[in-house]
């Protein structure tokens, strides 16, 4: 039974005689109950700060140097901007007109407005304090509608104002939607300016804050307007941390799916030495599955043979890693070296075979392994080893059913052909 057909009992409908499985493609991994509160507190990654003792009281405290940008002036501008409320940042004339702006910002009404009217509304309501307005429900709707016009004056003003405040807007519940719309609408030069403002801490926070904050990053890789190697470098250096978090593993997976072969190799470089351990993690196992599925068959087989050897029994009896092994068999089980690894460690080892066929998760790995054995002689050897191991096994019927389905049917020989008794015409 494929891992994509079994639901986790805690997060989906129960199915008779089916065990928990990996998530459906595109769905978020389940949030672990004991990690929910801790995840909120540990989500944001802040750059280190210099000790304040050596800094005069009248001077601004410098922050950590950016990783993705060499523009020191932009860095100082980003650090000198203090968070402000919309009321404090907006001009009095704009605040007075706020009720009218709110009534105008309904989604349906904005969709029906002509581009020229949206540009005028943007200038009257948002220009000069885009970052603060983007973090409000009404401002988000107006900014998204104005950005979709793709008017150069709107795009230029929004990029210029958001870059110094990107660290605040990118992780805001409303601002992240504005940022995604901006990424989908702006030019290559404007995209480069946005990437220049994405320090390492900003990228990591976008990946892990919520399912919405990671979407602008995904949009960058979907459009591929500019070179994204700087962003890939940050993700690769923190791949182990991201893979072990709920939203981080999804961010890494979506980026991995959209990268070329060289970038994929860079993203998994940090994960390879601990690939077997990550396969048993509640979240990281999804990233391992993604790396196997979206790499070419030869590369995936190399990952498996080099980093799973010696761990097959432990992985087969693990809830999460057993799903990884089923993906391995589905994607590269036809590679002789991969199949030999499974057979040597699970089938031709009597003690391991007895344990794996009796395990709640391991029996599914055995069933998947039977499905990829195509050589008749090899299948006969597997069948001979399995029969004594299945005596008294609670999963014997399922495994024997798989073997029966794979067993070649001998052709009918001798005698007259058989006819159905009712096949004659009357």
Q: What are the extents of the domains in the chain?
A: 299-408
Look-up of token digits 């805001």: 172
Q: Is 354 helix (H, G, I), strand (E, B) or coil?
A: helix
Q: What mean pLDDT comes out for the span 129-158?
A: 94
351-408 pLDDT per residue, tens: 999 999 999 999 999 999 999 998 899 999 999 999 999 999 999 999 999 999 877 6
Looking at the chain, how many residues does it have?
A: 426
Alpha helix segments (H runs only) across 97-243: 98-104, 107-112, 115-125, 130-133, 137-148, 152-162, 166-169, 175-185, 188-196, 200-208, 215-223, 229-237, 239-243
Look-up of token digits 């015409």: 425
pTM for the predicted model, two decimal places: 0.72
Query: What distance in Å separates the CA atoms of residue 379 and residue 391, rounded to the nearest whole number?
Result: 19
Query: What distance in Å separates the CA atoms of residue 363 and residue 290, rounded to the nearest whole number?
Result: 23
221-271 pLDDT per residue, tens: 998 889 999 999 999 999 999 999 999 999 999 999 999 999 999 999 999
Query: What distance in Å separates the CA atoms of residue 347 and residue 339, rounded to the nearest whole number?
Result: 11
Q: Is 187 helix (H, G, I), strand (E, B) or coil?
A: coil
Neighbours of 41 (CB within 10 A): 7
Q: pLDDT grade, residue 110 (50/70/90)?
A: confident
Q: What is the b/e burial string over 112-130, where b = at least 16 CB atoms within 10 angstroms of the residue's CB?
A: ebeeeebbebbeebbbebb
50-83 pLDDT per residue, tens: 433 433 444 443 333 333 433 434 334 444 433 3
Is 21:6 a contact under the CB 8 Å cutoff? yes
Report which of residues 45 and 362 the model is more confident about.
Answer: 362
Question: What pLDDT is recorded for position 407?
Answer: 76
| Residue 28 tokens, joined | 């978020």
H or E element, residue 320: helix 319-332
Q: What mean pLDDT comes out for the span 17-21?
A: 41
H or E element, residue 404: helix 396-406
Indicate the Cα dihedral angle 238, 240, 245, 250, nearest 10°.
Answer: 80
Question: What pLDDT is recorded for position 133?
Answer: 95
Contacts for 74 with CB less than 8 Å, ≥ 6 apart:
163, 164, 196, 197
Query: What distance in Å separates the CA atoms of residue 300 and residue 136, rounded to the nearest whole number?
Result: 45
Within 13 Å and on the Cβ side, how many CA atoms surround 68? 24
pLDDT exceeds 50 at position 426: no
386-398 pLDDT per residue, tens: 999 999 999 999 9
Question: What pLDDT is recorded for position 181?
Answer: 96
Neighbours of 92 (CB within 10 A): 7
270-294 pLDDT per residue, tens: 999 999 999 999 999 999 999 999 9
Question: What pLDDT is recorded for position 225?
Answer: 81
Report which of residues 77 and 111 the model is more confident about.
Answer: 111
Question: What pLDDT is recorded for position 52?
Answer: 38
pLDDT exceeds 50 at position 157: yes
Q: What is the mean pLDDT of the chain?
A: 79
Question: What pLDDT is recorded for position 56?
Answer: 41
Is 186:223 a contact under the CB 8 Å cutoff? no
Alpha helix segments (H runs only) across 244-318: 246-258, 261-268, 275-279, 284-293, 297-307, 312-316
Question: What pLDDT is recorded for position 113?
Answer: 85
């Amino acid at each position: 039974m494929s891992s994509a057909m079994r639901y986790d009992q805690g997060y989906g409908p129960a199915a008779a005689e089916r065990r928990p499985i990996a998530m459906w493609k595109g769905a978020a991994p389940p949030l672990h109950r004991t990690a929910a509160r801790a995840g909120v507190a540990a989500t944001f990654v802040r750059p280190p700060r210099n000790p304040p003792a050596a800094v005069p009281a009248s001077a601004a405290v410098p922050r950590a140097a950016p990783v993705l940008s060499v523009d020191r002036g932009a860095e100082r501008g980003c650090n000198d901007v203090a968070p402000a409320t919309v009321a404090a940042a907006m001009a009095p004339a704009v605040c007075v007109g706020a009720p009218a702006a709110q009534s105008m910002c309904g989604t349906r009404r904005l969709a029906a407005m002509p581009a020229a009217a949206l540009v005028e509304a943007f200038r009257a309501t948002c220009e000069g304090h885009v970052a603060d307005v983007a973090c409000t429900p009404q401002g988000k709707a107006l900014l998204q509608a104005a950005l979709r016009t793709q008017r150069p004056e709107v795009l230029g003003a929004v990029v210029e104002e958001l870059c110094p405040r990107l660290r605040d807007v990118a992780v805001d519940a409303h601002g992240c939607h504005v940022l995604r719309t901006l990424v989908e609408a702006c030019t290559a030069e404007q995209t480069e300016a946005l990437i220049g403002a994405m320090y390492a801490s900003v990228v990591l926070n976008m990946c892990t804050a919520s399912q919405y904050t990671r979407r602008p990053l995904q949009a960058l890789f979907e459009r591929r307007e500019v070179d994204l190697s700087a962003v890939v470098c940050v993700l690769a250096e923190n791949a182990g941390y991201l893979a072990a978090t709920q939203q981080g593993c999804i961010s890494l997976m979506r980026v991995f799916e959209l990268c070329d072969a060289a970038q994929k190799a860079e993203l998994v470089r940090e994960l390879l030495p601990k690939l077997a351990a990550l396969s048993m993690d509640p979240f990281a196992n999804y990233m391992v599955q993604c790396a196997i599925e979206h790499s070419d068959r030869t590369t995936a087989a190399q990952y498996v043979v080099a980093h799973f050897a010696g761990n097959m029994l432990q992985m087969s009896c693990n809830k999460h890693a057993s799903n990884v092994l089923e993906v391995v068999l589905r994607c590269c089980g036809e590679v002789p070296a991969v199949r030999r690894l499974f057979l040597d460690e699970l089938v031709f080892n009597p003690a391991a075979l007895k344990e794996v066929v009796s395990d709640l998760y391991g029996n599914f790995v055995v069933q998947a392994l039977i499905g990829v054995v195509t050589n008749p002689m090899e299948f006969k050897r597997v069948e001979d080893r399995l029969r004594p191991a299945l005596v008294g096994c609670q999963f014997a019927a399922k495994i024997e059913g798989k073997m029966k389905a794979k067993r070649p049917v001998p052709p009918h020989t001798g005698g007259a052909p058989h006819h159905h008794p009712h096949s004659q015409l009357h």
